[in-house]
A = this chain, B = another copy of it.
């Protein structure tokens, strides 16, 4: 007994327990740890995890022919790395990741670039239950030259440290429902007129897709614990629910929950079959993690063309606004999505984003 007491008296608290709702205020800027040099190995492991086949991210030759320095890092790998850095500061005490908006992929990232993340708190609103609140952050990922590779807004529901603490003045930012086509950055050094569809195996170009069109991506991936944990650690995402069965067995679901971003990457990879020339994600307009994914489940996806836009000043490339829905243990021949009561039970993800596609 005496020994235990001694032990406790020597214990100090140098660990990060994350921020609670009260810790956030509008105007707060958070510089996230850890700068990360992304490399060819990250790209290779990403290929092993998702099997992506979009040619620009797979082939230095294809990428150079379009004006890239070499194959750029997959957009979603950039997203996950930029996002992962924010977890210890923003969402360690989050109950739910509620949404995304205004995501724009700007300067491409290449192997060798070092990525950092900074978040600005742009909104806080306590929930009426007095136990939680919603925090809105705009996160900016930059490379070693200070160029922005990605910025996006997300909002999360975060626990209060003390239920008796007084609610802050609510600030809810006005967020665009879609990143306008005119805001989508396409560098003038890139040229897509020489794009060869044999590189993707899909003959369908920008003009072949029509607003309202739906595509069942057919294939499915069953997810294993080792895979999603490898992925989530690769992103240095530290959310406990993905990794710790010892605590999760007593949690909400009795098991580890797969990182929602893993579902986004699985859906993007599955979407190659039907959208093979959608070589780049240019913007994230919105997204909702509708239901949880667990190891053993099989992920499918289908997409709808929400809109098709010309890119200002370009005749070689157009932008498609897509909605990709991921669902589990359900072949999406019937395009499961929203119902009058919410969502079909099979739905995992409802993701609204804009891709570039050669004309």
Contact = CB atoms under 8 A, between A and B. Distances in A.
A60 interface: yes
A39 B43 contact: yes
Most chain B beta-carbon neighbours within 10 Å: one of A89, A221, A240: A221
Interface in A1-32: 4, 7, 10-17, 31-32
Nearest to A31: B198
Contacts of A212: 10
Say how many copies of this protein the assembly contains.
Answer: 3
Interface string A177-206: 000000000000000000000111110100
Contact of A71 (B37, B50, B246): B37
A227 interface: yes
Interface string A219-253: 11110111101111110101010011111000000
A60 B338 CA distance: 46
Contact of A47 (B58, B144, B236, B334): B236
Contacts of A304: 10
A238 B10 contact: no
A315 interface: no
Contacts of A43: 39, 41
A13 B48 CA distance: 27
A119 B238 CA distance: 38
A225 to B, nearest CB: 5
Q: How large is the interface on A (under 10, 10 to 19, 20 to 34, 35 or more residues)?
A: 35 or more
Interface stretch (A133-141, A273-281, A282-290): A273-281
Residue picked from A39, A50, A144, A236, most chain B C-beta under 10 Å: A39
A48 B234 contact: yes
A317 to B, nearest CB: 18
A204 B14 CA distance: 7
A144 B71 CA distance: 14
Interface in A75-120: 88-89, 111-112, 114
Contact of A233 (B11, B48, B204): B48
Most buried by B among A15, A220, A232, A236: A15
Interface in A38-72: 39-45, 47-51, 53-55, 58-62, 70-71
- Report, nearest first, the 9 A-B pairs whose CB atoms are least far apart: A41-B44, A33-B201, A51-B233, A41-B41, A246-B298, A226-B226, A35-B59, A222-B245, A39-B40
25 contacts: A10-B213, A10-B214, A16-B273, A17-B218, A31-B198, A33-B198, A33-B202, A34-B58, A35-B61, A35-B199, A37-B58, A37-B59, A37-B71, A39-B41, A40-B111, A41-B42, A45-B45, A47-B234, A48-B233, A60-B144, A62-B114, A88-B201, A221-B229, A224-B226, A246-B298
